[in-house]
Amino acid sequence: MTELQLGYGDGTVPFSFDAKRFQVLSGNRYNERPLTDEEIGQALTGPIESEPFDDLFTAGDSVLIVVSDATRATASGQILNVMVRRLIQNGVSAADVAIIFATGIHRRVTPEEKVELLTPFIAQRIKTLDHDAHDASQQISLGTTPRGTPIEINRTLTEFSHVVTIGGIGFHYFAGFTGGRKSICPGLASTKTIEATHLLALDGQTGGRREGVRTGLLEGNAVHEECEYVTTLVAPRFAVNTIVDESKRVVRVYAGDWKAAHGIACHDYLESHSLPIHERRDVVIAGCGGFPYDINLIQAHKALEMAAHACRDGGAIVLLAECRDGLGRTNFLQWFDEPNSRELVKKLFTNYEVNGQTAWSLLTKAERYRVHLVSRLPESEVRRMRMIPARSIADALSTIDRAGQGFILPHGARFLPRLQR
């Protein structure tokens, strides 16, 4: 038997398995080491399609830095320490620098999380701002997109001389990738704007995904293009996109022009985080990789999405996700009152909410596969979402055909299984 430690919250869960039955899908083909502050500084000095960072800011400027919330691992603290020092060295007053959290419709960042995300040094010295997508007084309207999406963003974005974004690159199940433009839209957009951009993921005629909207794809992806259009109106002065390792340490930095740097980062991420498979298998065991990837079910769904790429129709998926913050939204369960995913998508076109789309995506998988969930969630909630509650991976496997071949995804949200024909 072979033993593997799978991330679960802040700890790990041991799992012993027969290597002849299960193939582990994971790894970093480049075996990268964490970057030093000096190497991060070099990325700022020699950026992608941009002037050097130090040439863009000077005394008298005010700078708003956009960072992700606790649901994302971006190594923002290390980046900020390098960046803020450089700004101050260039004459920008610390009093003229602020950090805003791109929470989208997520909950507010807690004081403890701020220290963790920014480091104590930055948290004590730089003013922080909170975004509330539901608060109309925070928003400013910039018109509509060519597709008719209302453009409402946090007005703070227009009150500083320059905007700088820091985001992490990862797969996104309908926007293609995280990072880049997502720091602005949906990160600092209103609920109305977020809902309108996300609704573009669905096709009202087929009741499924819109053509071109999928994991790992930007070109022709309507959701990505709409968010990018909104970000064009903000025109960030500089952007940093990070790729972190399994310990959440930055191993690659793509800094420079907000659009160009993001595009190159996504291309490289797809190349290094795709896992070729030659068949879909009967059983897939998916770990989220621990906190923050399994902070709630909405975030954990991303690992379930990846597992679905490796599981045959009618097969079984075992999802390991602590969900310390529960479902992620108090009203998430209401979407599962619909009898099936077809009726749920109809409801979304008449009464759309972002988390309703996540519920629809989850429900389609629960209908297509037998999904066993190992988590802190109450069993009644798990069953209501059409999943099967399990006390452990072994508990789940005890009800699954032991003859079936399987895959293990230790870091489910990080790696995309891609079927090779």
Question: What length does the chain have?
Answer: 421
Architecture of domain 2-27+276-419: Alpha-Beta Complex (3.90)
β-pairing, 281-287 with 311-320? parallel
Task: Identify whether the C-beta of residue 239 lies closer than 8 Å to the C-beta of residue 165.
Answer: yes
Model confidence pLDDT, tens digit, residues 369-384: 999 999 999 999 999 9
Least confident residue range of 20-34, 53-67, 152-166, 290-304:
20-34
Choices 3.30.590.10, 1.20.1270.360, 3.30.2040.10, 3.40.50.11440: CATH for 37-271: 3.40.50.11440
Measured between alpha carbons, how far is 30 from 74 in angstroms, rounded to an integer? Answer: 19
- Split at pLDDT 50, 70, 90, the class of 327 is very high
Measured between alpha carbons, how far is 261 from 238 in angstroms, rounded to an integer? Answer: 10
- Split at pLDDT 50, 70, 90, the class of 31 is low
β-pairing, 127-130 with 97-102? parallel
Query: Is the C-alpha dihedral spanning 14, 169, 131, 221 positive or negative?
Result: negative
Average pLDDT rounded to a whole number, residues 262-278: 95
Q: What Cα–Cα distance (Å) separates residue 219 from each residue in 77, 223, 267?
A: 31, 10, 11
Q: For the chain, what are the domain ranges? A: 2-27+276-419, 37-271
Q: For the chain, what is the radius of gyration of the CA atoms?
A: 21
Report which of 207, 210, 217 is spatially closest to residue 364, judged by C-alpha positions: 207
Burial class (CB in 10 A: 0-12, 13-18, 19+), 72: buried
Measured between alpha carbons, how far is 275 from 307 in angstroms, rounded to an integer? Answer: 12
Q: Answer yes or no: is pLDDT of 145 > 80.
A: yes
Query: Is the C-alpha dihedral spanning 320, 324, 328, 331 positive or negative?
Result: positive
Task: Identify whether the C-beta of residue 396 lies closer than 8 Å to the C-beta of residue 388.
Answer: yes
Measured between alpha carbons, how far is 310 from 354 in angstroms, rounded to an integer? Answer: 26
